[in-house]
Chain A
Amino acid sequence: MRYLPLTADDRAEMLGVIGVADIDALFVDTPASARLAGPVGLPRHQGELEVERELARLAARNRPAGAGPSFCGAGAYRHHVPASVDHIIQRSEFLTSYTPYQPEIAQGTLQVLFEFQTQVAALTGMDVANASMYDGSTACAEAVMMAARVTRRAKAVLSGGLHPHYAQTTHTLAQVAGVQTVRLAAKVDAEAEVIAAIDGETACVVVQTPNIFGQVTDVTAIAEAAHAAGALLIVVTTEAVSYGLLKSPGEMGADIAVAEGQSIGNGLNFGGPYVGLFAVRDRFVRQMPGRLCGETVDAEGKRGFVLTLSTREQHIRRDKATSNICTNSGLCALAFTIHMSLLGEAGLRQLALINHAKARRLKAALEGVEGVQVLTTRFFNELAVRLPMDAAEAVEIMAGNDILAGVPYSRLDPQAGLDDVLLLAVTETTQDGDIDLLARVLPKMLAGKKGIA
């Protein structure tokens, strides 16, 4: 077995040093009735070649998004990641290290986290960011729990523009903590309606921009309304590249900004692992979940970094902790930081402009298709459209033509009655020809000419 260095002679010698006759003597504490006599009924070990062949067989049964036109977004976006990002994150010192509990020999990871926190705080326009969460959806749920702690209130108003998976994840966590979630009706301009739902019991309002329908909203007025009622404003973003162009949550008065950071540095990976961004105003630092890296000095006065404010965390505070989170998303945060460092502000802004320009092209193309109604009016790189047919069925037919035409809204939120709504996203990886092809095939499909591209 290529991963196991001990030889039979080693094992015999070591058992001798321990002073036992055989390996079973080390398992005496396990119940005799439950001890397995031999390997369980699964295949025996295989060589690298055989394993790679099997994994390649499974991979070949999937259609990569990059193998042809793809318009899938809705919380996960296919961007170009520079080759150097993947090279660096595969370095042994980053890939095979643990959480930086011994700061003297983990300054690499710690300095990266400090850079990550600084970048995230700048992008979101907030004072402080943590060292990452599992993903955007769990960051959103944790933000609501945090708002309930801060305000000592137990009601969260969720915009109908919030990604349905985020709303569901938040609801799962909130219900066991006794926090009521009020989710407003799903619609393109949903953010405009949350103000009416704020009352004196509201702990927080959760809005998303760009929202699940791609709609961009200036939420400044919502922040004012929330604050007037003593509630916090949580602003969610699922497309982090939009930070390069749009007003930041901080500029609009957010108290907590959370986001999915996958778009920067990380691939689609069928939904995970991703990296959750979590940033707050200074006064809430000690109520934050998750790890924080801070600057300090060593015994010789040299600058260094450590994990800090850990009295919020489970390994110190146990059942009084601000969250149960332990592992975060370190390597994905590293990828984010490297890609962000390569882009710089100038590159990020340019990237965002390209994404937006592609979306304008997509909008123009879709508006030319008879029967298709573009619903989104202010957008970044994603649009919701109404089809004259069931969107899930349309996506299946288009997939048969090797076009991944987007995400049917009903897949995320089957009960909303929006079965004819299709979500389409573009990025810099979308070629103009892809958009042209979509605009050519869509009318034929709608006219019932299935299978002709």
Chain B
Amino acid sequence: MTMQTIGRPTRPDTAAAPAADTAARGLMQSEPLIFELGGWSKTGVDLPDVGAGAADDLGDLVRAAPIGLPGLSEPETLRHYVRLSQKNHAIDLALYPLGSCTMKHNPRLNEKVARLPGFADIHPLQPQSSVQGAIELMDRLAHWLKTLTGMPAVALSPKAGAHGELCGLLAIRAAHEARGDVRSRVLVPTSAHGTNPATAAFAGYTVQEIAQTPDGRVDLADLEAKLGPDVAAIMVTNPNTCGLFERDVVEIARLTHAAGAYFYCDGANFNAIVGKVRPGDLGIDAMHINLHKTFSTPHGGGGPGAGPVVLSAALAPFAPEPWVVHDQNGYRLVEGREGPAAQASGRLCAFHGQMGMFVRAYAYMLSHGSDGLRQVAEDAVLNANYIKARLSDLMSAPFPDGPCMHEALFDDSWLEGTGVTTLDFAKAMIDEGFHPMTMYFPLVVRGAMLIEPTETESKAELDRFCDTLRGLARQALSARNDPEALQRFKAAPVAAPLRRLDETQAARKPRLKWTPPAAPLPLAAE
């Protein structure tokens, strides 16, 4: 049977397209909030009846006023959230070059195994005899983390990188206090992640900044001048936020230890050196590992993360509870301050940490193995240097000499006189189908553009990215004497679900939740 085509035009009409009648554009639907969609008595679940008087024992403990929450049927729910999902960029769509964030591929095997009932459906306070596999997995994950970092101990419970920083500083504080040594200052380089000074302040220390050398590293002379008997720790990211390895790391550790302080390393960039260099061989006392970066647990639109902290022998006794121990009776979580955990620095959260992330990270480690993890670091560094090499003739790198690590840093000096800013350039990338790089961070570089490709990009995708950026860079440079070219950057993005958003208005008159229109809400059906 052949298709009847009479009356069905097979060539496109060349007439200009009129604007659509609705707010939708092609497959991109305009989607209201659930509060504008849902019915006040509607529900997408079928639950059994319980009969009248089910809560009559509770008297006036029962809610008097309606909550004010709409419901949707299952098909409406699917459609609502799938439509919303289509307004997001994602790693699975294209390169996501956010420097310092490590947006790499998330293997789906890890999602599958994390959902096995033996991991997903176990209660944190079940008898330990009924969760031996879970505690064994924590022990094995710990073994991999300790071996990869060359450190003797690891605290698994911190729930994210910044939580890990807190864990490390609390252990440092406890270690000092245990020998009657009261210290008040923490030194942090100017290029540090904002979490470092915030954590130090949160942990009760005053923060002092360490200067940076012209080649983007910690200024040793300044460090030495600021170290003193009241310094508890230094917090240094290595590789640092300029994407550079701290060449003097061993000397930094020596100076720090000579002053009686501890060396905390922000391990956000561990993915650049995993399998190549072990922090334990560099004199580091504590380092958090973002499982959602180096070990690829999904970022999920802003968490959950996981931030286990590896600790040196000096700090190990001061790890927070719980601890995993393994003996002839099997695996055990030590949940209080007893036995080896007698000097523990305190509980950081309820239960035992981000088990769902542990499963994913462990599956990732087993998949890569010791050889694959080393290759991860090499390919991540190779990809970043390739981007740096391909773009450096058009865009300016503040630290052009020598290789970078896993991310390539540019500044905005090449845009001078064009009228195009880092923000404009980033927004123009959106129109070309790419997520922008990290902008205006680190703070020590003007108009910073920090590009981290990760190891999971193919050469073809890297080339497509570099070709796109080269094209944009040429246009940006032409904007010096081409108002139309400039306009393209100022207007960008024009092809995204929305144009640029007014962040000033959002902050000046905060609207932080949906509020009903003037008419009162109808009561929910009983």
Which residues of chain B from 234 to 254 have any CB-CB distance to chain A below 8 Å in the complex? Answer: 244-247, 249-250
**Pairwise interchain contact B403-A270, C-beta atoms closer than 8 A:** no
What are 28 A-B contacts defined by CB distance under 8 Å? A4-B376, A4-B456, A14-B383, A18-B386, A23-B381, A34-B250, A36-B277, A40-B147, A42-B370, A55-B137, A58-B133, A92-B93, A93-B93, A97-B299, A105-B430, A138-B349, A168-B346, A218-B60, A269-B120, A273-B303, A294-B510, A294-B512, A295-B511, A327-B160, A341-B34, A350-B50, A353-B54, A404-B123
**Pairwise interchain contact A94-B276, C-beta atoms closer than 8 A:** no
**Pairwise interchain contact A216-B58, C-beta atoms closer than 8 A:** yes
Q: How far is the CA of A88 from the CA of B503 in the complex (A)?
A: 29
Which residues of chain B from 152 to 193 have any CB-CB distance to chain A below 8 Å in the complex? Answer: 159-163, 165-166, 170, 173, 193
**Pairwise interchain contact A324-B302, C-beta atoms closer than 8 A:** no
User: Which of A51, A84, A128, A327 is B109 in contact with, Cβ under 8 Å?
Assistant: A51
Residue of B nearest to A98 (CB): B299
**Pairwise interchain contact B119-A3, C-beta atoms closer than 8 A:** no
Residues from chain B with Cβ under 8 Å of A30 in the complex: 245, 273, 276-277
**Pairwise interchain contact A332-B304, C-beta atoms closer than 8 A:** yes
Task: Tell me how far the C-beta of A374 lies from the nearest C-beta in chain B, rounded to whole angstroms.
Answer: 13
Task: Tell me how far the C-beta of A129 lies from the nearest C-beta in chain B, rounded to whole angstroms.
Answer: 7
Residue of A nearest to B249 (CB): A31
User: Given known contacts A114-B33, A273-B356, A328-B303, is B55 in contact with A297 (CB within 8 Å)?
Assistant: no
Residues from chain B with Cβ under 8 Å of A370 in the complex: none
**Pairwise interchain contact B301-A268, C-beta atoms closer than 8 A:** no
- The stretch that binds A, out of B12-20, B78-86, B221-229, B468-476, is B78-86
User: Which of A61, A292, A318 is B133 in contact with, Cβ under 8 Å?
Assistant: A61
**Pairwise interchain contact B44-A331, C-beta atoms closer than 8 A:** no
**Pairwise interchain contact A326-B352, C-beta atoms closer than 8 A:** no
With an 8 A cutoff between CB atoms, is A6 at the interface? yes
Residue of B198, B376, B402, B525 with most partner-chain A CB within 10 A: B198
| Interface 1/0 per residue, A78-106 and B, CB below 8 Å | 10001010111111111111111111111
**Pairwise interchain contact B64-A251, C-beta atoms closer than 8 A:** yes
With an 8 A cutoff between CB atoms, is B116 at the interface? yes
Residues from chain A with Cβ under 8 Å of B78 in the complex: 84, 87-88
Which residues of chain B from 394 to 432 have any CB-CB distance to chain A below 8 Å in the complex? Answer: 402-403, 405, 426-427, 430
Residues from chain A with Cβ under 8 Å of B40 in the complex: 344-345
Residue of B41, B250, B276, B352 with most partner-chain A CB within 10 A: B276
User: Which of A3, A177, A328, A399 is B107 in contact with, Cβ under 8 Å?
Assistant: A3
With an 8 A cutoff between CB atoms, is B487 at the interface? no
With an 8 A cutoff between CB atoms, is B230 at the interface? no
With an 8 A cutoff between CB atoms, is B385 at the interface? yes
Task: Tell me how far the C-beta of A297 lies from the nearest C-beta in chain B, rounded to whole angstroms.
Answer: 6
**Pairwise interchain contact B123-A172, C-beta atoms closer than 8 A:** no
**Pairwise interchain contact A31-B250, C-beta atoms closer than 8 A:** yes
**Pairwise interchain contact B402-A29, C-beta atoms closer than 8 A:** yes
User: Which of A36, A59, A93, A302 is B278 in contact with, Cβ under 8 Å?
Assistant: A36
User: Given known contacts A63-B130, A218-B60, A296-B506, is B282 in contact with A28 (CB within 8 Å)?
Assistant: no
Residue of A nearest to B355 (CB): A270
User: Given known contacts A105-B88, A345-B66, is B366 in contact with A51 (CB within 8 Å)?
Assistant: yes
Q: How far is the CA of A2 from the CA of B364 in the complex (A)?
A: 11
| Interface 1/0 per residue, A19-47 and B, CB below 8 Å | 11001011111110111101111111110
